[in-house]
Structure 1
Amino acid sequence: MGNDNKIELFTPKYFGACTIGGILACGPTHSAVTPLDLIKCRRQVSSALYKSNLEGLKTILKGEGIKGIFTGFGATAIGYSLQGAGKYGFYEFFKYNYSNLIGKELSEKYKTTLYLSASASAEFLADIFLCPFESIKVKTQTSIPPFANNVVDGFNKIMKSEGVYGFYKGLYPLWFRQIPYTMVKFATFERVVELIYSYLPKKKSEYSLGTQTGVSFLGGYIAGIFCAIVSHPADVMVSKINNEKSSNESTANVVKKIYGKIGFVGLWNGLPIRIVMIGTLTGLQWLIYDSFKAAVGLPTSGH
């Protein structure tokens, strides 16, 4: 890092900047794809509801209008902004501290393990922030008419009917979905970016910020494809569990019951649209995150 950078690396100000970058990367991008997410969630809960994604879009527009295709927007915006803060901020924090813990030599030798460990730790915490809003989002999106009119309405209804448990009954499946997802997202991104630069004729620092953020987008998109595949079965379960009305059963029993109904094939409902959604989403997130880092005087991600 050069002396003209505005923020010193690995200081509280640095980790704070990464946290803000995570909010900007995740909140707006997840919110923007709410229509795709809405159709995906509804098809996961009831595969017979719409014959195709296009039919789903047309049906929702016809019956509920433009407002209808953005059902769940508020909970998505809040939940994924909080998750993005934890995901990126804690990732940078854990990566730095785990590296110091094991030393530079081992950090270089076991880079992938370092990325996996740091991202898993970060996502574990980030999902605790996300889970209540994910519950509101999924219940609102998968019920017709929508379960709630807005975030506050959804919060009050869940609290009244199920208490705090209602916000966190999907936490274990969320962890099973998001932790592998984030481990793949960060580790794949880091290694793909490293691979891209290894094939380019110049060092990373010699390229313009436009080129560097372009590499970030490409690395993020490739990582997103793998993320979607790895985490999809758990994503289906999260949608199904939050759609279940009963709050008396344990999460394990509900998962067993749902699997008995849909089987292995049912765990992959909605995968094609999720690959497109997550690939684009992840690419854009890394593009926004690294653009923000560059704007405040920090180096872009990856080696």
Structure 2
Amino acid sequence: MGGVEGRRVSEELKPYGYFGLCAVGGMLSAGTTHLAITPLDVLKVNMQVHPVKYNSIYSCFTTLLREQGPSALWRGWAGKFFGYGVQGGCRFGLYEYFKSLYSNILVDHNRSVIFFVSSASAEVFANIALCPFEAVKVQVQAQPHFAKGLLDGFPKLFASEGLLGFYRGLVPLWGRNLPFSIVMFSTFEHSVDFLYRKVVQKRKQDCSKIQQLGVTCLAGYAAGSIGSFISNPADNIVASLYNKRADSLMLVVKKIGLFNLFTRSLPIRIMLVGPAITLQWLFYDAIKVLSGLPTSGEVTTDIRVDGAAA
């Protein structure tokens, strides 16, 4: 059974253990990939918060090494690993859950609507979980004397700002990650569909696991690159708010400038996010494959060997 009807039946048959596995896979894949790219994230945050001092990737890298030593490039690693691990668990696990739920509720809507509402719903909760970790991480990376990491950063931030300090950037974080997540999941799903129908021209189940993971990598890179451009303005706002470069969202926008919101740190963000999202999808789908599950993404129609739709 193919098409929309086949998808609805398969969604109804998914047990809750499936969503739990997706959450664990998302947690492991997101946590490890964000840990691996911590040095690039340190450069990005410092370029956003101190744009005059660090006006290029090279100057930021060499200045940090000279003034703070190699260890500066790994500041905030714990916030990256645990914070984005928690976010990844919620993002992927809840996305699969909401996609299953909305596929049965929004039966008269097209797939893009289901991808949109599923990713948005999941990201709301994912960012509530991420926000305290992000608040500490950004200050640890951009203010060397603030704290060494999560263990001393959490109590210090709570003592100085209370609970509000952990969620100062929640709205801008939603502003950054909601569009990113919506674009990322939608681009991934549509890219997988396009690649199987137009490039591979074979049904997913007829492809080897290596071929399926290859499709995952290509779709993941497209999803990460496009999502990073869409979410870059809010990413600059988050960094400025957490480091108190301005007291309100409007003041941040005025101080940075509309053009700079889109362009500041964009090259390094694309370098950072594109490969990171690719690795996340690869690790996530590898975990699913090792657990006996198919890779992520849906194909709208079955495909015969000759390329004709079934």
Tell me, in whole angstroms, the C-alpha distance in 2 between the residues paired with 1:239 and 1:52. Answer: 17
One-letter identity of the residue aligned with 2:258: F
Runs of 5+ unmatched residues, structure 1? 2-7
Q: Find 1:278's aligned residue among 268, 273, 276.
A: 273
In structure 2, the partner of 1:92 is: 96
One-letter identity of the residue aligned with 2:77: F
Q: Find 2:28's aligned residue among 24, 27, 51.
A: 24
* 2:154 pairs with 1:188: no
Cα gap change, 1:44/1:245 in structure 2, threshold over 3 Å: closer, same or farther?
Answer: closer
* 2:116 pairs with 1:116: yes
Which runs of structure 2 are paired with 1:243-282 in the superposition (5 Å)?
243-244=243-244, 254-267=248-261, 268-282=263-277
In structure 1, the partner of 2:303 is: none
One-letter identity of the residue aligned with 2:74: F
Tell me, in whole angstroms, the C-alpha distance in 2 between the residues paired with 1:33 and 1:52. Answer: 18
Tell me, in whole angstroms, the C-alpha distance in 2 between the residues paired with 1:154 and 1:26. Answer: 22
Q: CA deviation at 1:284?
A: 0.8
* 2:294 pairs with 1:299: yes
Q: Which moved more, 1:92-101 or 1:53-62?
A: 53-62
* 2:106 pairs with 1:102: yes
Which runs of structure 2 are paired with 1:164-203 in the superposition (5 Å)?
164-199=163-198, 200-203=200-203
Q: CA deviation at 1:24?
A: 1.3
In structure 2, the partner of 1:163 is: 162
One-letter identity of the residue aligned with 2:25: G
Which runs of structure 2 are paired with 1:134-145 in the superposition (5 Å)?
134-143=134-143, 145=144
In structure 2, the partner of 1:5 is: none
**SS of corresponding position for 1:51:** coil
Q: CA deviation at 1:31?
A: 1.3
Contact 1:228 1:275 (8 Å CA) reproduced: yes
* Greater than 3 Å deviation, 4+ residue runs: none
TM-score, scaled to structure 2: 0.89
One-letter identity of the residue aligned with 2:54: Y
TM-score, scaled to structure 1: 0.91
One-letter identity of the residue aligned with 1:136: V
Q: CA deviation at 1:215?
A: 0.6
Runs of 5+ unmatched residues, structure 2? 2-11, 299-310
One-letter identity of the residue aligned with 1:277: L
Partner deviation per Cα, 1:255-281 (whole Å, 9 max, x = no partner): 111222121122121001101111101
Tell me, in whole angstroms, the C-alpha distance in 1 between the residues paired with 2:161 and 2:117. Answer: 34
Q: CA deviation at 1:245?
A: 7.3
One-letter identity of the residue aligned with 2:115: Y
Contact 1:71 1:146 (8 Å CA) reproduced: no
* 2:292 pairs with 1:288: no
In structure 1, the partner of 2:301 is: none
Partner deviation per Cα, 1:138-175 (whole Å, 9 max, x = no partner): 111111x2411120111011100000000001000000
Q: CA deviation at 1:9?
A: 5.6
Q: CA deviation at 1:125?
A: 0.4
In structure 1, the partner of 2:149 is: 150
Contact 2:37 2:272 (8 Å CA) reproduced: yes
In structure 1, the partner of 2:4 is: none
Tell me, in whole angstroms, the C-alpha distance in 1 between the residues paired with 2:216 and 2:29. Answer: 13
Tell me, in whole angstroms, the C-alpha distance in 2 between the residues paired with 1:162 and 1:51. Answer: 31
